[in-house]
Chain A
């Protein structure tokens, strides 16, 4: 038996013994996702056990080094683990911006002390992180941010406000971009800091979206004390960290466009609801658009696979994260447009049973934000034009 095969067998046996039955189904709704953190209320013992067991194994962050709470797995092993999780339809044990966003820059740029302090609690789902990037007057032009951090020797005093903080009201700690120098060019006076959301002077206000939900907040900082030892990278060199993190955020958002809806294809939904004549979807014009969509969906999946293979073969990626972010989010919007068209009047039912308590229209509305958050599609195209095509700015 090869090493990979025996790893697969061990993994399969371990998952069989440790993944609770109720965790082997796709999410039914948002409440099924486990975000962890100080104030998280587990839906069930199974949900908590699943998190704790995976965390103890290091498999909430399988690629991270063991000393920071990770699994220390190599690429091949991670692939096997993912395949085995998919095989039993296991839910993610933990959803976490600490893992998907903060982790990569902290691993790359953080000091040993900061890594020891923050990474293990992230891996165990004990601390829930939120992102402090956008400001009311710094959206697409993120680097023009104005949140002010005044140097007080061993700490900063921070004032200002952030907007579009995902789950800002539920977060334990924030990673945040602040201006530490107002006298230099905008990219050169930014620092990347971290602080506890329960610090004095921090408050949040929910933002109600067109989808009816409030997943975002405004976040206000009034004379908040932030320790200087909570800076990643050098003071005034935060833009480097910020961009690195954005690359990972964009990959995450773009990748989510590749596969959604619990494995049910758009064409399956369509044939079920609309029916077929001689094997051809009864609405032939809609069929064309569905086929175009499903082709592009496969294109994206293949291209993400190719990008991973190229990384393995030593080809650097760079701005391709912007390409995937652009393509994946535009694709996801198309997915919901098609699902809305396929479902007809049922798609408009805001509360009733026809589409799972309004999940479809709410998801459709929410998807409009995909091509705005994490940098708009237009910003991604700017980046592709500038950095991949070398067009003059």
Chain B
């Protein structure tokens, strides 16, 4: 498939860009922070996103969705990266929808997908149990108890854990790992939210003998690892798309500043020391654009995804967005360090997404393993 957007996706991108620019620019994030918004996002804005159809993008038409695919939701995430707009798009509209579409039973699809498409149901993935991403290191157990299971364990750093209606939980089930859909309101679930450095939230979620039924299994018993890896890869692709938006916006703002800021009587962008760094960053960003579109298209085309490509993309996007946002601060000089100026928000959001679902080091290692070395 050609590595360019088709007409449908171009229109989606343009409408997403227009909407986010007018309704949720960076000042929206700032006002959420200054108002100490307890959820870290705006329900009103989310309703507008629902009207735009965004949570329905991945959902099949028979469940009230739009079926614009991973490329579609990825484009919207990229644009929301440019404006740093907090929303449940990543965890619910991309990862959550993908999980149910991929592995859900007929009942789960019937019940959950229309509610995702309508923006009425939010999901979060509770998989990690230590501060650093290690999704296969699972101590949480689901013990069979008659026809049901009792889940016990502690999950850490759950993105959107503070607002989720349903958790996707990984747990040991004797013969392997299984995934369960666990309502946030179930007895024994404790959610401890904490604010992360850019006003978003995550949560530590503990499960104390939480009772679930067999029909709450997501995918086959003991067959959870493959699905978990797929869900994570979808999430990583989404994070990468968002990082691409962040990196591009930070870069463009920086280039604008280099042209405008004068020292020694000339624009600082005329200095070769800065020009070459900017040109190198531009080159890396071009590489990143190719990776993101290729990864999204591959998810649309290949049922099992492509672990090597996803890890390459997440690793490279993490690294390049990091470079773009740190260079942004350095090239803005003193003003870049002030809270009053917006560029610092890009650095913060980037650091969070870099860590989420595996940082550049994690994915470099996974890339090499995929290539058998």
Which residue, of B2, B269, B286, B316, has the highest number of chain A Cβ atoms within 10 A? B286
Kindly provide the distance from the CB of B371 to the nearest chain A CB, expressed in whole angstroms.
6
Contact residues in A for B286 (Cβ distance below 8 Å) = 303, 320, 323
Most buried by B among A287, A292, A298, A386: A298
Contact B364 A291 (CB under 8 A): yes
Any A CB within 8 A of the CB of B154:
no
Does A313 contact B259, Cβ atoms closer than 8 Å?
no
Residues of B within 8 A of A299 (CB): 287-288, 290-291, 312, 316
Q: How many Å from the CB of B71 to the closest CB on chain A? A: 14
Interface: A354 (CB within 8 A): no
- Closest chain A residue to B286, Cβ basis: A303
Partner-binding segment picked from B50-58, B181-189, B272-280: B272-280
**Are the CB atoms of A280 and B364 closer together than 8 Å?**
no
CB distance from A375 to the nearest CB of B (A): 13
Instruction: List the count of A-B residue pairs having beta carbons below 8 Å apart.
Output: 120
Contacts of A326 in B (CB 8 A): 279, 283
Interface size on B, residues (CB 8 A): 38
**A288 and B364 within 8 A (CB):** yes
Whether the Cβ atoms of B2 and A391 lie closer than 8 Å is no
Report how far A279 CA is from B365 CA in the complex, Å: 12
Within B274-323, which residues are at the interface with A (CB < 8 Å)? Answer: 274-276, 278-280, 282-283, 286-291, 293-294, 312, 315-316
Pick the contact of B272: A279, A303, A382 (CB < 8 A). A382
Min C-beta distance of B105 to chain A, whole Å: 35
Tell me whether A263 is interfacial, beta carbon within 8 Å. no
Please, how many angstroms separate the alpha-carbon atoms of A390 and B260 in the complex? 12
Query: Given A267-B371, A287-B368, A378-B276 in contact, is the A302-B3 Cβ separation under 8 Å?
Result: yes
B12 to chain A, nearest CB (A): 17
Contact flag A306-B3 (CB < 8 Å), given A298-B312, A384-B279: yes
Greatest chain A CB density within 10 A among B3, B255, B289, B294 is at B3
Contact of B372 among A279, A298, A389 (CB under 8 A): A279
Q: Are A295 and B290 in contact (CB under 8 A)?
A: no
Is B174 on the interface with A (CB-CB < 8 A)? no
B-chain residues with CB within 8 Å of residue A270 when the two chains form the complex: 373
Most central of A281, A310, A381, A391 by chain B CB within 10 Å: A391
B4 touches A (CB below 8 Å): yes
- How many Å from the CB of B224 to the closest CB on chain A? 23
The answer to whether B2 and A313 touch across the interface, beta carbons within 8 angstroms, is yes
Residues of A within 8 A of B280 (CB): 381
B283 adjacent to A390 (CB under 8 Å):
no
Contact (Cβ within 8 A) B371 A391: no
What CA separation (Å) do A385 and B258 show in the bound complex?
A: 11
Return chain B residues, CB-CB under 8 Å to A279. Answer: 369, 372-373
A270 vs B289: C-alpha distance in the bound complex, in angstroms? Answer: 30
Report yes or no: A385 in contact with B279, Cβ–Cβ below 8 A.
yes
Distance from B13 Cβ to chain A, minimum over Cβ atoms (Å): 15
User: Which residue in chain A gives the minimum CB-CB distance to B311?
Assistant: A295
Complexed CA–CA distance, A292 and B369 (Å): 13
A220 to B288, CA, bound (A): 46
Tell me, in angstroms, the Cα distance from A327 to B288 when the chains sit together.
Answer: 13
B255:A391 contact, CB within 8 angstroms: yes
Q: Are A393 and B270 in contact (CB under 8 A)?
A: yes
Chain B residues 356-373 with CB under 8 Å of chain A are: 364-365, 367-369, 371-373
Whether A391 and B4, one on each chain, are in contact in the complex, defined by CB atoms closer than 8 angstroms, is no
* B residues less than 8 Å from A315 (CB atoms): 4
Contacting residues, chain B, for A382 (C-beta < 8 A): 272, 275-276, 279
Instruction: Answer whether residue A76 sits at the interface, using C-beta atoms and an 8 A cutoff.
Output: no
Known: A267-B373, A303-B286, A303-B287. A310 touches B368 (CB 8 A): no
In the complex, what residue of chain A is closest to B281 when comparing beta carbons? A389
Given contacts A291-B368, A291-B373, A303-B287, 8 further A-B contacts (CB under 8 A): A279-B369, A287-B368, A290-B368, A299-B287, A305-B3, A309-B3, A323-B286, A384-B279
Q: List 22 A-B contacts (CB under 8 A).
A: A267-B368, A267-B372, A287-B373, A288-B364, A291-B368, A299-B312, A302-B3, A303-B289, A306-B290, A306-B294, A309-B4, A313-B2, A323-B283, A323-B286, A326-B279, A326-B283, A381-B276, A382-B272, A385-B279, A391-B258, A392-B259, A393-B270
Interface of A with B (CB < 8 Å)? Answer: 265, 267, 270-271, 276, 279-281, 287-288, 290-292, 294-296, 298-300, 302-303, 305-306, 309-310, 312-313, 315, 320, 323, 326-327, 378, 380-382, 384-386, 388-393
Interface of B toward A, CB cutoff 8 Å: 2-4, 255, 258-259, 266-267, 269-270, 272, 274-276, 278-280, 282-283, 286-291, 293-294, 312, 315-316, 364-365, 367-369, 371-373
The 5 residue pairs across chains A and B that have the minimum distance between CB atoms: A385-B275, A299-B287, A384-B279, A306-B3, A302-B290
